Amino acid sequence: MRVAFTSDLHLDFPENRPVLRAMVGCLMGSRPDAFVLAGDLSHRLKDVEEGLKTFAPLSCPKLFVPGNHDVWILGREPEARSSREKYEQHLPRLAAAAAFTYLPREPVLLGDVAFAGTMGWYDYSFRVRALDRRYSLAEYAAKVSGFDLHSRWSLPGGDGAAPDGAVAAEMVAALKEQLWWAEWRGARAVVAVTHFVPFAELLEVRGTDAWDVNNAYMGSASLGAALQTCPRLAAVIFGHAHRVTDREVRGVRGIARPLGYPVPEEQETADPAALAERRLGWLDV
């Protein structure tokens, strides 16, 4: 099976829209057996809807896991009152309307390959410990870097606020259930899809507070630990860090091929088709 994948299309940036359309053209020419979109289309539901529907000409199975930007609450969408509501109601609805399987709601078996997915979240376990002398866990919870201030997670019942660690644990528990399902179904191979980064080793540490403090919000150690329990795991596709990645960590192959925010030099020197080709990843399972 040949799987195409990408992430972090960030369609709230107009410069990325021609690349998206070119990406669909590349996929139509390459004809993958499955296509995976690993989150961060936009904080606006309208952009998410348009982005997913752009892939309508692609006839292979299409799989979607949202990212943190997709669950942002900015007060301009009255129908979405919390990040949980977006994650559990609005995004699955938009995915279904665009013929995407919403992996956080249901894993899928394509032939003898299972796909399991969850967005993931952060619990500060990836924080750079050298910064502990400056920032407490309470300060990370208050978003010391201003990171992800627009996320509003309610508790599962809908009332109150869920702390980041509880959200991360909830995501990991859901992924474990899907991995167990894949084993029960006798899948030959399993492809996991997350938005958040599964291992701290896949992140960059620059030695500057302005950069390194953000590592606390990149993922959770428990996410990687859950993946290590799956004996038939072929790879985990992820996003969020905006870094092209293909690296094995503790027996798990982590791969990412994000588009990310527009880079002026790249936009000026590459036509959308060339940029689209560089931002599409391929996995043979």
> What is the rounded average pLDDT of the residues 184-211?
96
Residues 222 and 73: their CA atoms lie apart, in Å, by: 26
Q: Is the pLDDT of residue 196 over 70?
A: yes
Q: What is the pLDDT of residues 80-90, one digit of tens each?
A: 889 999 999 99
pTM (2 d.p.): 0.96
Higher pLDDT, 181 or 263: 181
> pLDDT band at residue 77, thresholds of 50, 70 and 90?
low
Strand partners, 101: 63
Could you tell me the domains of the chain? 2-284 (3.60.21.10)
SS (H, E, C) the chain: CEEEEEECCCCCCHHHHHHHHHHHHHHHHHCCCEEEECCCCCCCHHHHHHHHHHCCCCCCCEEECCCCHHHECCCCCCCCCCHHHHHHHHHHHHHHHCCEEECCCCCEEECCEEEEECCCCCCCCCCCHHHHHCCCHHHHHCCCCCCCCCECCECCCCCCECCHHHHHHHHHHHHHHHHHHHHHCCCCEEEEECCCECCHHHCCCCCCHHHHHHHHHCECHHHHHHHHCCCCEEEEECCCCCCCEEEEECCEEEEECECCCCCHHHHHHCCHHHHHHHCCEEEEC
Identify whether the C-beta of residue 212 lies closer than 8 Å to the C-beta of residue 128.
Answer: yes
> What is the rounded average pLDDT of the residues 53-69?
97
Q: Is the pLDDT of residue 75 over 90?
A: no
> What is the rounded average pLDDT of the residues 53-74?
96
